[in-house]
Amino acid sequence: MSAGEQARLRGLYLDAVKRSLAGINCRSGSDLVPSGADALLVETPWEPPPARVRLVLAKEKRIDTDAKLTGDHLQFPADGQTMLGLRRLDQLQQCATTVIEEDVPGDFIETGVWRGGAVILLRAVLEAYGERTRRVWAADSFQGLPAPSLEEDAWSDLHRHEELAVSEDEVRANFALYDLLDDQVRLVVGWFGQTLPRLQAERWSLVRLDGDLYESTWDGLEHLYPQLSPGGLLDR
């Protein structure tokens, strides 16, 4: 098989994985989101005030197709395993392929995985490139977000929302849906401040921080960034 044909088949495989993860390939009820309040508006410290992020939780409320493509809004698909749209998944794929092609040493890790979509994509990239030495680490409490303990996180009541709590078993099952649950997948269970310091012996080529809170993001920077290889990438 020529290099061009290999690249074409690799692209087809990863495109199919991304569309499935985003819930775009699902037809029956794919645009329905879980029952809940009509809408929950949450201020975000990552945008200049008074910008706000809209978490759509309404029963029988349609997810905007453009949002699925761009990932500009945090929306909970009933089907699919990620809130990231295709463009953000494309970016994550590009990060992973860059460090592989440039031979940057180290594993991949995401902090805050929800249903596991982003780390499933990272494992799929390793599969597509025949990478057998790198691992994908999925760090999460697997019980939702913690109550805020810092002033910077005083805006958040995300710990009250059960929709954000996805169990370890469910994430493992989602990996298995793509036939990607194997010994190259490591789940790190617990609050970041307790678990990430235990990973200081590891080396990273790609770190993705998705803990939502200031404290969670700082934990990732403090405990993972020092082990990021030269040429490695930090994504959020």
Angle between helices 117-128 and 86-101 (to 10 degrees): 40
CATH of the domain at 220: 3.40.50.150
Task: Please tell me the distance from the alpha carbon of residue 116 to that of residue 227, in angstroms, as a whole number.
Answer: 23
Give per-residue pLDDT as tens, 61-73. Answer: 344 555 555 554 4
The whole-number pLDDT of residue 56 equals 34
Q: How many domains does the chain have?
A: 1
The whole-number pLDDT of residue 162 equals 76
Give per-residue pLDDT as tens, 156-180. Answer: 777 777 777 899 999 999 999 999 9
- The answer to which of 16-20, 151-155, 175-179 has the lowest mean pLDDT is 151-155
Peptide bond into 34 cis (omega under 30): no
Q: Which range marks the domain in which residue 103 is found?
A: 3-27+81-235
- pTM here is 0.81
In a domain, 53, yes or no: no
In a domain, 184, yes or no: yes
Give the pLDDT band (50/70/90) at residue 75. Answer: low
What does residue 70 show for φ and ψ, rounded to 5 degrees? -90, -30
Q: What is the mean pLDDT of the chain?
A: 81
